[in-house]
Amino acid sequence: MTDATAAAALRPMMRRDRASALLGLRVERDEPGLAVVSMAVTADHTNGFEITHGGFVFALADTAFAIACNEDERVTVAAGADIAFLKATHAGQTLTATARRRIVSGRNGLYDVTVTDETGDVVAEFRGRSLTTNRSLSEPAPAP
């Protein structure tokens, strides 16, 4: 699949996601309640200790969470999230975030995201809490 074909296959939510594009995130799998997103760590993703900045690991996990919890035409947003950083990574490595729905009850959801490196070692564990709004994905976003 070419990059253009892959981009066309993305849902509108991700085609408009400038932050994920800027970070070089790649959607590997997109199913209701399940998402896999990867990121090649570059020197620009590292902090002053030359390890991957935690904010980028969080952004990767948060993006997988967003894809997994937006299962239908209703806009679902994060109500909160926590992350545990378990292993340092460096430029040249590839991180993969796998998000899975744990439960949805009414408008609230709970999702777990595991971030691994290219060897399969767990780098971080993320838990996201979602809130489904009354807004539809087909409605234009509110003006800033």
**What are 15-41's pLDDT values in tens digits?**
888 899 999 999 999 999 999 999 999
Task: Count structural domains, the chain.
Answer: 1
In a domain, 13, yes or no: yes
Q: What is the span of the domain harbouring residue 84?
A: 3-136
pLDDT digits 0-9 by tens, 85-120: 999 999 999 999 999 999 999 999 999 999 999 999
3-state SS record for the chain: CCHHHHHHHCCHHHHCCHHHHHHCCEEEEEECCEEEEEEECCHHHECCCCCECHHHHHHHHHHHHHHHHCCCCEEEEEEEEEEEECCCCCCCCEEEEEEEEEEEECCEEEEEEEEECCCCCEEEEEEEEEEEEEEECCCCCCCC
Q: Model's pTM, two decimal places?
A: 0.89
144 belongs to a structural domain: no
